[in-house]
Chain A
Amino acid sequence: MASLMRAMDLAELTTGADQIVVGDVVATESAWDGEHRNIYSTIEISVRESWKGSVPSDGRIRIRQLGGTVGEIEMTVYGMARFTRGERALLFLRQARVVGMGQGKRRVQWDPGNKQWLADAPEEREVVAAGGGRSSHVGDAPEALNQLRERVRALVRN
């Protein structure tokens, strides 16, 4: 991956976002930029829940980010969130970009055993945790979406 990231905690992600939603990836599309130097992907999200900010009346938001595949060429910017059509995710967004590159995306999955939705650990390729120790653990355990919703809403209120 290669992109080297400082870990952002939930408060930092929440503060940095102007929009926090849970939604389904319904479409992705990639294209070269005007100079044929970079590939951009546009990801269309169907919003299921909005935790911060407003959502357009059609319930769809579009995220734009570097990376993607056009024809034979694949551009990867390590650290950017990866999106797969059909997946559900919690997204921390600012001006239609994912906050903290991949850190602002958490995949949401149904846990049939406990009959609840779980949000994965922060999506990041590399984390540099400031402080002592030689190496830190990567990511955290999944968290119940209901619990995470309350934590985020409390942070938004504050």
Chain B
Amino acid sequence: MLRRRLAWLLAWASLVAGPRSAQAYVREVTNSGLPVAWRYPCLTMQIYLGSPPQVLTAEGYFAASTRAAAVWSYPALACTDIRLSIVADARDSANVGYDQNHVIVFRKDTWCREPPPLDNAGVPEPECYPSSALAVTSVFKNAKTGEILDTDIEFNAVNYSWGDLVAQAGHATLSTADFQNTLTHELGHVLGLDHNCYTNSDGQARLNDNTGAPEVDCNPTPPQAIADATMYPSVTLSDTLRRDLTPDDAQGVCDIYPHLHDVCPVRPSDGGCAVLATPSREGGHATMLWMAVGLLIAALAFLRRRMKV
């Protein structure tokens, strides 16, 4: 924690003193290389806590997931418009897949995707994950624009337990991980951040970081600021460091979703102006464009009403 505070202090000092320290985060991209982002900054995920798995209680899971969402969100992170909220659902579990419902579920009986996908003949085709997978996140996005459309996170409660390894260090076992730590990292992906360094083996070309430089190698030893970040790709089961963002993590979400509104803006579909999360690095210009389009639509609607009167 002390190291985190020092990192923040150093980042602040560098901003005040002149040239910025190296800020490095990497954005998720589509297969064609477009950066991905939500179009609307207010995002709700439902966590299903009907019969929570060991070790936390339903209240404990809800509190941990709320904390994980809050660190990425305004006002805890004043420079972003993201408001990621968690809603508890009293049911046991939910289906995942392309349905516009963003869910966090625990698989407790079988570590398989629910509902089982159907093949083209309508026959269930069970899709089970390996026991080595602790959690699986899936994302649907528009391949042509980079807009994120849907996301789900499934936790493996068949082979692992989920605890609070800060408040109750006694929860630590060989198969218990810190729920908040894991979810904070996964939510970074949900918001469109990729891992912050390059592994030569993930089948994906080396991406550029936000400075335009090729992302640094994860191996053999990345700079400490990279290894300490929430979006670093590798952690131990006992890790709790990812619960808090480093300056690089914060910079990432704030660059993608800069703070423009003190209250959650109205969705365009609700008649308000569109804002937002731009799939490009030139966020300010695109945001201005969206606002201009929104204002134009509002003006046209106003004129139509006047003409009807």
- With beta carbons under 8 angstroms apart, the residue of B134, B186, B201, B234 that contacts A135 is B234
Assess whether B215 is interfacial by the CB under 8 Å rule. no
> Interface of B with A (CB < 8 Å)?
30-31, 95-99, 113, 115, 117-123, 125, 127, 129-130, 132-144, 149, 153, 174, 177, 182, 185-186, 189-190, 194-195, 197, 199-204, 218-221, 227, 232-239, 241
Q: Which residues of B contact A22 (CB under 8 A)?
A: none
Which residue on chain B has the smallest CB distance to residue A68?
B31
Assess whether A5 is interfacial by the CB under 8 Å rule. yes
Is B118 a contact partner of A34 (Cβ separation < 8 A)? yes
Residue count of chain A within 8 Å CB distance of chain B: 64
Q: Which residues of A contact B199 (CB under 8 A)?
A: 121, 124, 138-139
Q: Give Cα A36 to B120, complex, Å.
A: 10
Is A3 a contact partner of B136 (Cβ separation < 8 A)? yes
Is A36 a contact partner of B233 (Cβ separation < 8 A)? no
Assess whether A74 is interfacial by the CB under 8 Å rule. yes
| Highest count of chain A CB atoms <10 Å: which of B96, B186, B199 | B199
Quote the shortest CB–CB distance from A120 to chain B (angstroms).
4
Is A139 a contact partner of B201 (Cβ separation < 8 A)? yes
Q: Which residues of B contact A1 (CB under 8 A)?
A: 137, 189, 194-195, 233
Is A35 a contact partner of B135 (Cβ separation < 8 A)? no
Q: A1-B194, A75-B98, A84-B203 are in contact. Are A128 and B235 (CB under 8 A)?
A: yes
Assess whether A103 is interfacial by the CB under 8 Å rule. yes
Q: Which residues of A contact B174 (CB under 8 A)?
A: 130
- With beta carbons under 8 angstroms apart, the residue of A36, A79, A82, A132 that contacts B98 is A36
Within 8 A of B (CB), among A23-58: 31, 33-38, 40
Assess whether A93 is interfacial by the CB under 8 Å rule. no
Is B118 a contact partner of A33 (Cβ separation < 8 A)? yes
- With beta carbons under 8 angstroms apart, the residue of B118, B140, B201, B202 that contacts A73 is B140
- Per DSSP, chain A at the interface is loop
Given contacts A1-B233, A8-B132, A134-B235, list 14 more A-B pairs with CB under 8 A.
Answer: A2-B153, A34-B117, A72-B142, A72-B143, A73-B140, A74-B140, A74-B142, A78-B136, A82-B202, A125-B202, A135-B241, A136-B236, A137-B221, A139-B200
Quote the shortest CB–CB distance from A146 to chain B (angstroms).
19
Q: A129-B236, A137-B220 are in contact. Are A76 and B201 (CB under 8 A)?
A: no
Is A137 a contact partner of B219 (Cβ separation < 8 A)? yes
- With beta carbons under 8 angstroms apart, the residue of A3, A36, A124 that contacts B201 is A124
Assess whether A101 is interfacial by the CB under 8 Å rule. yes
Is B97 a contact partner of A37 (Cβ separation < 8 A)? yes
* 12 CB-based A-B contacts, threshold 8 Å: A2-B185, A4-B177, A33-B120, A73-B140, A73-B149, A78-B138, A123-B202, A125-B233, A134-B236, A135-B227, A135-B234, A137-B220
Quote the shortest CB–CB distance from A61 to chain B (angstroms).
18
Which residue on chain A has the smallest CB distance to residue B198?
A138
